[in-house]
Amino acid sequence: MVWKTLNSLLGLDTLLTESTSKDIVIFKHSTTCSISHMAKMRLEENWDLHDLDIYYLDLKKYRNVSDAIAEKLHVHHESPQILLIRNKDCIYDASHFDISVDELKESLAWGTTTSL
């Protein structure tokens, strides 16, 4: 699993533009939360989506980027949270223990909007 770092509003705009040609995943992580740590560990243990870009956002350091994500993608802020972005739209949104690689795969296959 190769994490790309999301740490700026410009980076968010860039990845949203990239989402018009490929699917993008954002994982919002709180470095001080044990649930967030467990969700990240479960993702890393089960990740087999090698052709999919996944961005890591430390929302303690970059809360302004998290707020912009909520505004631009019309999603409620959660932590931890995983978002699947396609064509500048969030088509999958899960948080806490609902974060699952299998659920993410289903959304990739079907391309339908899912929110847990």
CATH number, domain containing residue 24: 3.40.30.10
- Are residues 38 and 66 in contact, defined by beta-carbon separation less than 8 angstroms? no
The pLDDT of residue 111 is 54
pLDDT at 113 over 50: no
Please report which confidence band the pLDDT of residue 92 belongs to, taking 50, 70 and 90 as the band edges: very high
Q: What is the mean pLDDT of the chain?
A: 90
Domain that holds residue 18: 3-115
Query: What residue type is assigned to position 99 of the chain?
Result: I
Q: What's the confidence (pLDDT) of residue 110?
A: 66
Residue 41's pLDDT is 92
Three-state DSSP state, 37: helix
Question: Contact 28/79 with Cβ under 8 angstroms?
Answer: yes
Please give the tally of structural domains in the chain: 1
For residue range 21-76, list pLDDT tens digits in order. 999 999 999 999 999 999 999 999 999 998 899 999 999 999 999 999 999 999 98
> Quick one: pLDDT at residue 108?
85
Classify 18 as helix, strand or coil.
helix
